Every structure is written in structure tokens, then in C-alpha cells.
Amino acid sequence: MEERTSFSAYYNQYKHKVFSFFFYRLNGDRATAEDLTGDVFVKAYEHFDSFDHSKKFYSWIFAIVRNTLIDYFRTQKNYADLEEGLEVSDQNSEAFVRNVDNNMKIEKVHKVLSEIPAFQKECILLKFLGDLTTKEIALVTEKSEDNIRQSISRALSKLRARKELYYVLLLCISALL
């Protein structure tokens, strides 16, 4: 019972961060992001007894997230376009306008993020959406902390040069709320 309560607390704490990470890595494909988020927590629950409680849970869960995403990309032959993952659910009034505005921002962020190398993009998303430290990202990606710092720095420099950092950070912050 205690294990189930402990896992439930972790799930509630990290479900939005995991979903947000998948959502942005999948170019706004909400359905697939939800499916993969569920897969991650099923895997985590099934192997929760092997989790070393002396270590940080988010490092462990984001290692599962990363491996799940890699497995997903291996099985996919074609990547969905951004438009396929964005739905306008409420065709009336304010909700429609808000949804269109958010979709435009998401599209802009995806365009900017698609122009930086995949590993830099992954580091940025783990840092800002996953809220992981440099050390934790190094553990998840099995790279050195210096490599992670350099990748994040280069990605942020590219974003600053294009004056797009505002959009990325705005979207990341709103995803965490």
C-alpha cells in the first residue's frame, strides 16, 4: 500500500512535465504524447520496486521517458506534421481564438526548435520542461555535465540570435502552470 501511495505522489508530481516533454518533442501531437505518457508511467509502476529511493525520481523517470521516445521514433516511418496534432475543439468565441493563438505560438516554437540539433533540443526540453538540472540531464542522457552545459549554451545562443528565446520560454513556462 505504501509503495502505491508513494508512486501516486510521484505520478501526480511528474505527469504534466512528462506529457509536456512528449508534446513538444512530437510537434504538438497530443494523442501520441498522452499515449507515451501513459506508457512511461505503466513502465515506471511495473518497475517501481527496482527504483533506488536513495536517488532522484525525476532522473529515473526521465531516463524512461527518453528511452520510450527513442523506441517510439524507431517504430515510426513518418513523422506527423504539426497540423495533424493540433485540434480546434471549440469552434466558438474566446476558446477558439485562444486555441488558434496557442497553436500559432506552438507552431513558431516547433519551427525554431527544429532548427537546432536534436541533442541540443532534447537538453533544452529536459532543462525547461523537465525542470532537470545539468547533472540530472547528464545522468539521463549518459553524457558529461560539460557536454550538457555546452549543448544548452549553444542552443540558447542560437535562440537568442533569432530573438526567439521569448517564445520558447513563454511556452515552456505556460506548460508548467
User: DSSP states of 81-126 as a string?
Assistant: PHHHH------SHHHHHHHHHHHHHHHHHHHHHHTS-HHHHHHHHH
Contact present, 58 and 130 (Cβ < 8 Å): yes
Residue 42 lies in a domain: yes
| CATH number where 44 lies | 1.10.1740.10
Residues 70 and 99 reside in one and the same domain: no
Q: What is the pLDDT of residue 38?
A: 94
Q: What is the pLDDT of residue 42?
A: 93
Cβ-proximal residues to 138 (8 Å cutoff; 6+ apart), any chain: 144, 145, 147, 148
The pTM assigned to this predicted structure is: 0.56
Residues of the chain with pLDDT under 50: 78-97, 176-177
How is residue 51 written as a grid cell? 527504483
Residue 136 lies in a domain: yes
Q: What is the pLDDT of residue 169?
A: 58
User: How far apart are the C-alpha atoms of 13 and 18, rounded to whole Å?
Assistant: 10
